[in-house]
Amino acid sequence: MKREAAPTLGRQFAAIGGLEAAEVLRSRWFLFAFALYTLLAGVFVLVGLRESVVLGFTGMGRVLFSFCHALVALLPLLALTATGQTLAAAREGGTLELLFSHPLSRLAYFASVSLARVAVLVAPLVLLLGAMTLYGRLVFHQAVDWGFLLRSLGISLSLILCFTGIGMLIAAHVRSQARAMIWILGTWAATIALMDFGLVGLMLQWRLSPQSVFALAALNPVQDARMALLSAADPELSTLGPVGFFLAHRLGGGFLLLLGLTWPTVLGLLCWGLGYRRFRDSDLV
């Protein structure tokens, strides 16, 4: 009897991607993420733009900046939550054993799971940012800084890619959903705390040099994204005081933007690769 040929890698991607997208759309966390996006957007648009009409010193650019600044802390948690428990849930539910009884490569499955989560996180964000700018333009007659909008989308995408990779690394190493959630919350808390409190504590405890503090801060992808956003809204970084003056004149806004786009992406791809290697070499059940 002639043996049936295994499906191509592209067909495997399409099949698994469709299953994962349907699963993500049915899950509660997606509805929660979309509702949270919408709530934040609604608050910033309705409150910020109404105040701008009265006070005259804020506007659509400021609303977008505040919204994106909130996303810097929110997106890592959403990406980690979307990915960190995927493999453990699939093992416990028997999905992995069922899927890999068919001619399916581990690369196709691992990549499809990752890309489905990235797409579901990015798509509503793009739609809501577009809706915010359109609403501000038509209702409040606010000018839109398209350059800042594209910059914010790029930074948000780099953060999503970064923490999707970290989440898949956690998923590949932790087999229990409960333990995976502990790792998710711990990772998110560590990256958010290192933005300010952790570095201040290091400076007080060990009296590190300014160069060492800046180097440690640059290793944190959330801090890089934050600096890239701040440099777009305030090229002089006056809100950071002497530190902002140093960053603005020694490094420049272009370097901060490049750092905020590239390092989170590189870190995410590195973690994703390590997670895939672990998944490839480990048992399915």
Main-chain phi, psi angles of 121, to 5 degrees: -80, -35
Beta strand ranges found along 46-202 (DSSP E): none
Give the separation between CA 21 and CA 117, rounded to whole angstroms. Answer: 8
Strands (E) located in 129-285: none
3-class secondary structure, 95? helix
For 94-104, what is each residue's pLDDT tens digit?
878 888 877 78
Are residues 144 and 60 in contact, defined by beta-carbon separation less than 8 angstroms? yes
Q: What is the pLDDT of residues 12-52, one digit of tens each?
A: 777 777 777 777 777 766 777 777 777 777 776 666 555 54
Residue pLDDT, tens place only, 150-191? 888 898 999 999 999 999 999 999 988 889 999 999 999 888
- Where does the pLDDT of residue 57 fall: very low under 50, low under 70, confident under 90, or very high at 90 and above? very low
What is this structure's pTM?
0.84
Instruction: Name the nearest CA neighbour of 24 among 124, 159, 129, 163.
Output: 124
Distance in angstroms (rounded) separating the CA atoms of residues 177 and 183: 10
d(CA 96, CA 171): 13
